[in-house]
Amino acid sequence: MPVISTPQAFNEDDLYVNLEGIFEYPLFLKCEGFNFAGSIKLKAALEMVETAERDGLLTPDSVLVESSSGNLGVALSMIAANKGYRFVCVTDSRCNPTTKMMMEALGSQVHVITEPNPVSGLLGARIDHVQALCARDERYVWLNQYVNPSNSTAHYQRTAPAIARQFPDLDVLFIGAGTTGTLMGCARYFRTWHRPVHIVAIDTIGSVTFGGAPGRRMIPGLGTSMRPPLLDDSYVDDVVRVKETDTIQACHRLARRGFLFGGSTGTVVNGAMTWLARHKKQELTAVAIAPDLGERYLQTIYQTTWIQNLCGDNTLTPQTPTTTPQAA
């Protein structure tokens, strides 16, 4: 039985769900939400904070500030509360209400941006706000998850090795693309592994991470309105883009079997099944990373009125996935 004195000391890193009995193809889903922050973002948050402390960037008077769609904000709120830092999360109107309340319960201030930058959208507007805060007060320290190498280092050192230990015959790994910290950390690790691993990035339609025109995205987590500075396309073998209606359907399909996962996980699962459907003649050992759990989405992707307003009345009617893999 583990005994801890700080919330960041606990993270279940070796739990997988076999989805073959729920979906059409064999897939092992690595569950990253079983920690006190509730998502994979705990790893990046802790690595960024501890690196900033080692480098002398954080002092007792520092005020942490970060732009986040939600999960990183919760992780930083938890760590800041434990370590005694003030924390300001700059999010936007797509942030789940429950996520905002969690950050505030942990003592953080939450600034919600509602007006997008004309060029870089809501993400760009959030970053503009963070930079304005830092310019006004030198106590503010912006960890900047979008360019911070610790964002990917956390997954190079922890997430990828954990997968490698459990699946020595791994063939393909599916990873959702947001800041691309998880994607780049895992992809770099497996590039030099003892056997080739096919890296498939899962993105949302309307995201510009891998090119294309920007579009409306209402489910927070994956996707960006600006190309992530951490991204190196040369490490990505395939990209699958997923519609938000398909994300919602995947989440509800999992929930009907007792697994309540978040929106990012629904996107990754749908994208993985789409890719596997095109390679069904191959016997593959396939793993996907589930970044989050579903409690924070009860007022959105698990709420009928919200779904109807966003996508229409027939969203939860089972449909054949229409996304197709694209070469990176």
**SS3 state at 279:** coil
- Are 220 and 247 in contact, with CB atoms under 8 Å apart? no
Closest CA to 292 of 4, 21, 1, 35: 35
| Spatial distance between the Cα atoms of 242 and 319, rounded to a whole number of angstroms | 13
| Domain co-membership, 280 together with 182 | yes
Q: Same domain, yes or no, for 164 and 128?
A: no
The per-residue pLDDT for 119 is 83
Distance, in Å, from the CA atom of 299 to the CA atom of 98, rounded to the nearest integer, reads: 8
Instruction: State whether 174 and 102 are in the same domain.
Output: no
Asked whether the beta carbons of 8 and 82 are under 8 A apart, the reply is: yes
Q: Which residues of 11-29 are buried (b: 16+ CB within 10 A; e: fewer)?
A: bebeebbebeebbebebbb
Q: How many helices (H) and strands (E) does the chain have?
A: 10, 11
Work out how many domains the chain is built from and give that number.
2
CB 247 within 8 A of CB 217: no
CATH code at position 97: 3.40.50.1100
In this structure, what token pair is assigned to residue 275? 């890719």
Within a domain: 34: yes
Q: pTM (2 decimals)?
A: 0.92
Backbone φ and ψ of 112, nearest 5°: -105, 120
Same domain, 165 and 293: yes
Q: How many CB atoms lie within 10 A of CB 201?
A: 30
Burial class (CB in 10 A: 0-12, 13-18, 19+), 66: buried
Same domain for 74 and 13: no
pLDDT at position 310: 78
- Taking CA atoms, 150 is separated from 75, 87, 112, 170, in Å, by 15, 19, 26, 25
pLDDT at 102: 95
Q: What is 229-270 written as a DSSP string?
A: TT--GGG-SEEEEE-HHHHHHHHHHHHTTT--B-HHHHHHHH
Identity of the amino acid at 29: L
Q: What is the pLDDT along the chain (328 residues), one digit of tens a residue?
A: 689 999 999 999 999 999 999 998 999 999 999 999 999 999 999 999 999 999 999 999 999 999 998 899 999 999 999 999 999 999 998 888 899 999 999 999 999 999 988 888 888 899 999 999 999 999 999 999 999 999 999 999 999 999 999 999 999 999 999 999 999 999 999 999 999 999 999 999 999 999 888 888 888 878 888 899 999 999 999 999 999 999 999 999 999 999 999 999 999 999 999 999 999 877 899 999 999 999 999 999 999 998 988 777 777 765 444 444 444 4
Query: Do 230 and 282 have their domain in common?
Result: yes
Are 165 and 64 part of one and the same domain?
A: no
Q: Confirm whether 279 is domain-assigned.
A: yes
Query: Do 157 and 305 sit in the same domain of this protein?
Result: yes
* Claim to verify: residue 177 and residue 138 sit in the same structural domain: no
Residue 100 maps to a domain: yes
pLDDT of residue 324: 44
What string of DSSP letters covers 90-118?
A: EEETTS-HHHHHHHHHTT-EEEEE-S-BT
